[in-house]
């Protein structure tokens, strides 16, 4: 089985290399030879492993990675009050800066709609599904939302949004296929947003302008919280930076050629504190994408700029920050301009998923029935707590789960570095997502966190 997976990924890389037209047959041959001669423990093996789906760690590793001198700056009660203040400020700020209005978001979608988000392309993160509709035959096949990425674009049409106008939603989702640790839970809370654009706005300059506006809101929220909660003003943790550093994934690769993706990101944010990585999904010069991205929403295949004669690709990216509490990098947001019908076909061909074109959502794109758009998500609990869950997977998100439904679906969920509650953790200087968001955690994790003076909400 491992050999099959290696072969499949190798074939996928070769197809993508050829499809982008950036590498000659000589480079493809060199890449093939390198894969054959490199041991699994060496660099190509590390880079390949970095592209895999959900990671599985151990609680010994979690114990080793947690801070040893941590003490929450706010009490549990103060934390909840700060979260309420932060949510109100950020939602109003996003509406003001991006011209958005709030809409309700679904908790479940029909399986055959094609609107649910599979998060990656290797099929490792599957949604919770169940039959719905007592007394009807056949019953509806529905799935719990993993992300509202595709639904939002359709919603722009449903709510009659004009060019320059957009929407956001306070999304709640379930992602069951993760290892549960201090950075991840099965329960996801996220702001999801989407905005109508014109063909002329599908460029890097427009993407960067919106990223700067979003960071302005996050920075403003940090200033407000420090004013209202003086305990956050400590020399132990510096304030968040005023501006982001924009860097393309190819440039990062050139800076840290021998490092796999996560280590490249860590080295970068340790130097610049807060960055926006542009161009995530297309194959880079070393034959690997910076990270695997789904083929049917963000546009990662469009040529953008050239650097020293080398073509760069991608109209999407992630906001990453250095968390001084956990001494780790954290992803706060993921966002991008969405695929056109032309780039949708190209990316589905590269990912070998052209059968998606038969789904209703994808047909709407192909038939120009939904508008061109840009969108993203901001994980809430991470942003509040300085990375226990903020994913702007860019990527704003859904309706709340009821107390009766939530326990049934909160399975172990976690992959170090990618979840949905970063905002609270980042701004409130928290060490764990579970300090901001109630979830279901194994007792082993409770014991590990309590050793480090971290108390997870139950």
Cα separation values, 390 from 48, 103, 320, 420, Å: 25, 20, 10, 5
Dihedral in degrees, nearest 10, Cα atoms 117, 149, 296, 313: -130
Q: Is residue 91 within 8 Å of residue 171, measured between CB atoms?
A: no
Identify the CA nearest to 129 among candidates 115, 150, 108, 152: 108
- Three-state SS letters, 2-51: HHHHHHHHHHHHHHHHHHHCCCCHHHHHHHHHHHHHCCCCCHHHHHHHHC
Q: In angstroms, rounded to a whole number, what is the distance separating the alpha carbons of residues 225 and 233? A: 9
Task: Tell me the Ramachandran region of residue 359: left when phi exceeds 0, alpha when psi lies from -120 to 50, beta otherwise.
Answer: beta
| Strand pairing category for 373-379 and 187-196 | antiparallel
Intra-chain end-to-end CA distance of the chain, in Å: 39
Backbone CA torsion sign across 391, 397, 402, 406: negative
Q: Give helix 2-20 / helix 341-350 axis angle, nearest 10°.
A: 140
Q: In angstroms, rounded to a whole number, what is the distance separating the alpha carbons of residues 309 and 290? A: 20
Contacts of 7 (CB under 8 A, 6+ apart): none
Which residues pair with residue 335 across a beta bridge?
A: 317, 376
Q: Is residue 282 within 8 Å of residue 16, measured between CB atoms?
A: yes
- Catalytically annotated residues: 117, 175, 190, 318, 331, 334
Helix H or strand E segment including 209: helix 204-228
């Amino acid at each position: 089985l491992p050999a099959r997976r290696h072969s499949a990924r190798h074939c996928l890389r070769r197809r993508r290399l050829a499809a982008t037209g950036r590498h000659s047959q000589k480079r493809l041959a060199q890449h093939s030879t390198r894969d054959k001669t490199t041991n699994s423990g060496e660099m190509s093996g590390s880079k390949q492993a970095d592209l895999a789906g959900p990671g599985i760690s151990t609680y010994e590793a979690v114990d080793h990675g947690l801070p040893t001198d941590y003490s929450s700056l706010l009490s549990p009660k103060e934390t909840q009050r700060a979260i309420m203040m932060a949510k109100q400020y950020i939602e109003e700020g996003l509406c003001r800066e991006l011209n958005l209005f709030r809409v309700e978001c679904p908790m479940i979608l029909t399986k055959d709609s094609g609107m649910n988000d599979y998060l990656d392309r290797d099929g490792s993160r599957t949604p919770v599904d169940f039959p719905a509709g007592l007394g009807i035959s056949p019953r509806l096949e529905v799935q719990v939302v993993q992300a509202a990425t595709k639904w939002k674009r359709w919603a722009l049409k449903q709510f009659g949004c004009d060019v320059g106008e957009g929407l956001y939603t306070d999304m709640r989702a379930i992602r069951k296929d993760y290892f549960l640790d201090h950075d991840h839970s099965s329960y996801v809370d996220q702001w999801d947003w989407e905005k109508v654009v014109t063909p002329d706005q599908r460029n890097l300059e427009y993407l960067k302008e919106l990223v700067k506006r979003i960071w302005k809101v996050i920075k403003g929220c940090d200033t407000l919280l420090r004013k209202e909660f003086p305990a956050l003003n400590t020399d132990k943790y510096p304030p968040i930076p005023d501006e982001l550093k924009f860097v393309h994934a190819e440039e990062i690769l050139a800076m840290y050629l021998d490092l796999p993706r996560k280590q490249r990101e860590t080295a970068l944010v340790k130097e610049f504190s807060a960055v926006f990585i542009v161009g995530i999904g297309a194959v880079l010069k070393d034959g690997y994408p910076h990270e695997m991205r789904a083929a049917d929403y963000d546009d990662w295949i469009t040529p953008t700029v050239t650097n020293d004669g080398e073509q760069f690709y991608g109209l999407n990216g992630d906001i990453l920050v250095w968390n001084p509490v956990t001494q780790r990098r954290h992803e706060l947001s993921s966002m991008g301009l969405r695929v056109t019908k032309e780039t949708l076909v190209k990316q589905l061909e590269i990912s070998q998923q052209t059968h998606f074109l038969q789904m209703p959502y994808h047909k709407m794109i192909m038939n120009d029935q939904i508008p061109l758009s840009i969108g993203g998500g901001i994980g809430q609990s991470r942003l509040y707590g300085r990375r226990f869950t903020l994913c702007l997977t860019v990527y704003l998100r859904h309706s709340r789960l009821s107390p009766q439904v939530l326990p049934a679906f909160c399975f172990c969920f976690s992959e170090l570095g990618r979840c949905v509650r970063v905002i609270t953790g980042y701004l409130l200087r928290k060490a764990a997502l579970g300090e901001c968001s109630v979830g279901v955690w194994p007792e082993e994790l409770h014991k590990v966190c309590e050793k480090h003076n971290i108390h997870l909400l139950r």
